[in-house]
Amino acid sequence: MRHRKATKNLSRNSSHRKAMLRNMVTSLFRFGQLETTDAKAKELRRVAEKMITLSKRGDLHARRQALSFMKDKSVTHKLFEEQREDYLNRQGGYVRVLKKGFRKGDSAPISVIQLLSEQEEKGSGKKKGKAGASAGTKESKVKAEAKSQEKKAEMSEKKEESAKVMEEKAATQS
């Protein structure tokens, strides 16, 4: 029987599993998305949503709880200061897991786990039928393209920031 076993063990012992999830959740908040196996993505979703809930609370105790789990203080600060506003009006569902395909070497199912932002929440909802879909104008398509370009620019800026942080860490260690 599988009573009182809330988490998947992911074929790892408890310390390895906790360290892996700590690293993954830190990377998720640093880069905005990760590519990993389905099982790891589903476990990571639980942890990431708990961290976002702590950031929504926003008090000192919640910040210290998040700092005790996440690996990088600057990422935690970014979550509590900048990304917090994106999730204040959401009641859960902060993370999306999309199935991508299968890994080439061992055919493991691969997923992409992404943080949802406020803009994506407004765009989601009930799907329109064929009549509603064809009623879109060229202006809405142009706006959608502009938003996607802005998101790409934001992601590239985040990657550049993280690269700078990594270089600074490497410089301080050597």
pLDDT in tens, the chain (174 residues): 989 888 889 999 999 999 999 999 999 999 999 999 999 999 999 999 999 999 999 999 999 999 999 999 999 999 999 999 889 998 999 999 999 999 999 999 999 999 998 666 555 555 555 555 545 566 677 777 777 778 778 878 888 888 888 888 788 886
pLDDT at 105: 94
pLDDT at 33: 95
Q: For residue 74, give the nearest of 168, 174, 173, 172 by alpha carbon.
A: 168
pTM check: above 0.75? no
Token reading at 24: 């993954």
pLDDT at 16: 96
